[in-house]
Amino acid sequence: MTDPARASFTALTSGNGVSLMAANAGPDLDAVEWVQSETTAAGTAVSYAEPPHPPAPYATRVVVRRPADDAAFSGTLVVEWLNVSSGSDAAPDWTYLAEELVRRGHAWAGVSAQLIGVEGGAAAVDSGAGTSGLKAVDPERYGALSHPGDAYAYDIYTQVARGLAADLGATCVLAVGESQSAFALTTYVNDVHDRTRVFDGFLVHSRPGSAMPLGEPGQGIDLAVRIDLAPTPIRDDTDVPVIIVQTEGDLFGRIAYLRARQPDAAQLRLWEVAGAAHADHFQIGDFETFLGCPDPVNRGQQAYVVRAALRWLESWARGGAPAPSAPRLSVVDGAFELDAVGNVVGGVRTPVVDAPADVLSGYAAPGASPICALFGRTLPLPHPVWASHEDYLAAYAVATDAAIEAGFVLAEDRDAVLAEAR
């Protein structure tokens, strides 16, 4: 019996250095004694279409960030399907998860799984970013890369994860992806995982209501067309845990997840985060003004919830207790039920919605640009809520501890959450 195919890796060292979009770069790797490397990952990939397309050679790139000291490595490898919605590779879940990855000693890998990230093409979201792909951005460094089309993206991702796990000696391999990447992971869980068995768990973050097609050779996926496909729940009979994290802003509008909402199952949890947008201030930081949005972007606290989801997923995948179930956001007659100040009712609760100083929406003002629509908005409270600032701070602390007790915020993040009191 032949061994399953895995990518082979060659260091990338020339040109202008690692090209990976991030407004919030995360921790200083040198300061936390981590190292970053970038390699070409090469091999011959298969498709999972029926009938399958002929195998095709590929050479893509992988960024790896990990503890410099091998002894500090936890054994867990987190593999992010890099997001190409802007037309260039980005790592949104690295931004949300970096603090948790570093303090736990996990390794992280970002995989250029899709054609557009390597070869270029039309962006799904007009953010003003370039859409030329790695090869045109830095021909000296990336000119030898070659992507055969998104029909092979799933196997490229598989082979890279399998090869890295072997090279690092990983004992737990987790798949993560946000937005368009979650679109792909939905298909991976449903149609590919049973054939590959590489991943021990999946964190599917802000997925649309449909699933990404299995793709065609020589082409990327046209997200603008494909996002309106039939609603597709994630299968609930997997042999590994799956946690789906959705923001308030994912349920309606362009993402339209609500139609695929599903109950929890033995190996599946769905967390819907109140007062959170598809993208937010945590992601964009000081670059918020460049978006040109009519209101301040969403300042919800999904980052802490996503970190908690990863903690639960890793423990669950290693044989620990399942992640907690969460109530769904309250939808009545096709719209969110709102509380007295205008924040949504139900879902995973964080201090900024249970002790409000703002109205936090997953949706921008009507008529906002497509990119602003993803970032939601933050508005003033419509009327006074607190008798004093001291009363507000006390309620905020109680809400923080309640979120920790419920399992949706980590105790290690308590100080960071408290520091976000308005």
For 291-311, write each residue's pLDDT tens digit. Answer: 999 999 999 999 999 999 999
Tell whether the torsion through CA atoms of 194, 196, 197 and 203 is positive or negative. negative
Q: What is the pLDDT of residue 227?
A: 67
Q: What is the pLDDT of residue 143?
A: 97
Q: Is residue 23's pLDDT more than 70?
A: yes
Distance between start and end Cα atoms, the chain: 61
Q: What is the pLDDT of residue 3?
A: 75
Collapsed DSSP state (helix, strand, coil) of residue 296: coil
CATH class of the domain whose range is 8-418:
alpha beta
Q: What is the pLDDT of residue 2?
A: 58
- As a whole number of angstroms, the distance between CA 210 and CA 256 comes to 8
Q: What is the pLDDT of residue 187?
A: 97
Give the global pTM.
Answer: 0.96
Q: What is the pLDDT of residue 127?
A: 46
Tokens matching residue 30? 């040198």
Q: In which band, very low, low, confident or very high, does the pLDDT at 126 lie, cut at 50, 70 and 90?
A: low
- Angle (deg, nearest 10), helices 153-168 and 180-187: 90
Q: Which of 388, 390, 367, 392 is nearest to 377 (CA)?
A: 367
Domain locations in the chain? 8-418
- As a whole number of angstroms, the distance between CA 287 and CA 281 comes to 9
Are 188 and 156 spatial neighbours (Cβ–Cβ below 8 Å)? no
Convert the pLDDT of each residue in 173-205 to its tens digit: 999 999 999 999 999 999 999 999 999 999 999
Convert the pLDDT of each residue in 200-247 to its tens digit: 999 999 999 999 999 899 988 876 656 678 899 999 999 999 999 999
